[in-house]
Chains A and B, each alone.
Chain A
């Protein structure tokens, strides 16, 4: 069903570009048109179109039953996704800010993740919980969280973090058709970024890491908005003759670590970049995978992490800016690694 090609002519014309938000919306619209079991629930997703406009217009197309505004009840959003999914629906829930997912943790961690296991494999819980994470909007510590690693630590949940509009659509369609609960972590700063997005319903398989840029000198493993910053850093470094390879895991759990390990075997150096605080962050898992693999023998520098400071995100924009990695920090850290300063 999903391999149908709607737009064979596309290659002939100009490259079609969509924003990350539009790509997500298109994925939901196309999936909902084909399958009545897919519906949306969340706060202000109807006439208001969602806090970041991702669901704008969908209520006009599908009506308030399938694009359902909910009370402010994150536990109920997660819980009702679970209940509906158990009975054969494929709900897509939206948590308005990733910070608020804390209010649905019991449902997600103890219920959604474990139901199949506790049912002896006789149940499935196919739903997607979309939520925007990340700082950079001046919204302080309770509207800027990057909490993906909490969910990575829970077997039974899949965790996806698209870094661009093309991946956003392809990964969301895969998440919708996956038979497991998927925590789909979007990024506020990426919503307006554009990329080539084909009109067809293409899927990017979950658990398939992607080499976003090839290079010989250093492997940079980055997630979400940090992939974009790493690619910008790569352009600057290239002018200095340093070629970094950027690997985007795209699905954090279950992780496809082969492309990462193979890249490090090639470059001999690794830097992990993410937005969440360093301690206990996803970078630790990547470092451990590299260190425990055959890539260890090829390393000629310590594996480094560049991540958020171990503090809450502050409101003041100067403080906020310095709390998480920026392009110039990646450039500097990459230079040091390549020049053998560690």
Chain B
């Protein structure tokens, strides 16, 4: 599968039967995430926001996964690069802008947490920690609870390949294997842990090669092909819901941007490599496929672009107009209040 990336950047739609309207919706979600992400970079360069961590280039696996699951019914424990996943799951550019600007009313944490750490209670999205891979054992716990309650939900979690060097990854996946949990773990392998290339992170060629040691299914997919990603996540979800246990999916992709707004990737990788990967851009590939299939035309693309710009402009304006939280807003929510209803009966 990895070698496919070296050849024609097509779309593998085998076994995928989706309505044209759904395919257009997938395209819209990828485009909307891309434009939102690009706006965040602009805002950072303008000095308007303190921090951005980008998901550009990762939209195919993220949107493919969100469409293969049941947003708000299944549980999601995404990682910081998953803007497109979150937007496709129900989070909005307005929510994201409030987070970027750290303003009052920011829905995930009231502007206490850094942007891109997510967490939307109403959508079953669980907040991520900054230290990486902590979500994997948590996702195993979510999946265990699903199994104990006899539900047909799935716990979905994602991380970068760099995070698979953490012990938490192994412990969580081992649990998932031992207890045959309804867990889908997607590793978005973009071949860099900030500056450290993948060959200095692991001595096996693929993250998914580790699946047998957990006793779970391992799958490698072209992470820049949204339909191939959709298919493997869909299959993993069916396996999980039918009692077949967990799946470790490795989506081979690339991060054309720096790790975050705090680093300069020119110090650790050649420009030619970045340019080469830009040719495999997941959004451009899907757009070409849809144009060729007659599902999109130039006018429709222009309409989507205008719609994205209008939504993002509105979200940015609203966030910029929102006030800072008052200093005392930092004091709440350290402890949950005592719930009188939980008192033991006399």
B-binding residues in A (CB < 8 A): 43-44, 46-49, 51, 69-76, 97, 99-100, 102-103, 138-143, 309-312, 314-323
Minimum C-beta distance from B293 to chain A (A): 41
Q: Contact flags (1/0) for B128-147 with A, using CB distance below 8 Å?
A: 01111100000000000000
Supposing A49-B267, A142-B131, A318-B325 touch, asked if A43 and B330 sit within 8 A by C-beta, the answer is no
Please, which residues of chain A bring their CB within 8 A of the CB of B263?
A: 48
Please, which residues of chain A bring their CB within 8 A of the CB of B325?
A: 316, 318-319
Q: What CA separation (Å) do A50 and B42 show in the bound complex?
A: 25
Partner of B334, one of A46, A49, A312, A321: A312
B: number of interface residues (CB 8 Å):
40
Q: List 20 A-B contacts (CB under 8 A).
A: A43-B193, A43-B194, A48-B268, A69-B196, A71-B162, A71-B200, A72-B201, A99-B130, A100-B131, A103-B166, A103-B168, A140-B113, A142-B114, A142-B131, A311-B330, A315-B113, A316-B103, A316-B325, A317-B102, A319-B111
Quick check: B195 and A46 within 8 Å, CB to CB?
yes
Q: What CA separation (Å) do A117 and B166 show in the bound complex?
A: 29
Quick check: B330 and A314 within 8 Å, CB to CB?
yes
Quick check: A47 and B195 within 8 Å, CB to CB?
yes
Closest A residue to B324 by beta carbon equals A318
In the complex, which of the residues B130, B133, B167, B200 has the most CB atoms of chain A within 10 Å of its own CB atom?
Answer: B130
Closest B residue to A321 by beta carbon equals B327
Q: What CA separation (Å) do A97 and B262 show in the bound complex?
A: 14
| B residues 34-64 in Cβ contact with A at 8 Å | 50-51
Given A73-B165, A315-B113, A323-B330, 14 more A-B residue pairs with CB atoms under 8 Å apart are A43-B194, A44-B196, A51-B262, A72-B165, A72-B201, A99-B130, A103-B167, A142-B131, A314-B111, A316-B112, A318-B324, A319-B112, A319-B327, A322-B330
Supposing A75-B167, A142-B131 touch, asked if A43 and B102 sit within 8 A by C-beta, the answer is no
Q: Is B163 an interface residue (CB 8 A)?
A: yes
Closest B residue to A319 by beta carbon equals B330
Quick check: B195 and A309 within 8 Å, CB to CB?
no
Interface of B is mostly: loop
Please, which residues of chain B bring their CB within 8 A of the CB of A309?
A: 330-331
Quick check: A103 and B131 within 8 Å, CB to CB?
yes
Quick check: B329 and A317 within 8 Å, CB to CB?
no
Q: What CA separation (Å) do A335 and B275 show in the bound complex?
A: 61
Quick check: A311 and B331 within 8 Å, CB to CB?
yes
Quick check: A71 and B193 within 8 Å, CB to CB?
yes
Quick check: B166 and A72 within 8 Å, CB to CB?
yes
Partner of A72, one of B193, B262, B329, B334: B193
Partner of B114, one of A51, A76, A139, A323: A139
Quick check: A314 and B112 within 8 Å, CB to CB?
yes
Quick check: B195 and A48 within 8 Å, CB to CB?
yes
Please, which residues of chain A bring their CB within 8 A of the CB of B162?
A: 71-72
In the complex, which of the residues B113, B115, B196, B201 has the most CB atoms of chain A within 10 Å of its own CB atom?
Answer: B196
Please, which residues of chain A bring their CB within 8 A of the CB of B200?
A: 69, 71
Q: Is B202 an interface residue (CB 8 A)?
A: yes
Quick check: B111 and A315 within 8 Å, CB to CB?
yes
Please, which residues of chain A bring their CB within 8 A of the CB of B166?
A: 72-74, 103
Q: What CA separation (Å) do A49 and B268 show in the bound complex?
A: 10
Q: Contact flags (1/0) for B74-113 with A, using CB distance below 8 Å?
A: 0000000000000000000000000000110000010111
Q: What CA separation (Å) do A46 and B131 show in the bound complex?
A: 20
Quick check: B267 and A141 within 8 Å, CB to CB?
no
Quick check: B111 and A44 within 8 Å, CB to CB?
no
Minimum C-beta distance from A138 to chain B (A): 4
Q: What CA separation (Å) do A100 and B167 show in the bound complex?
A: 13
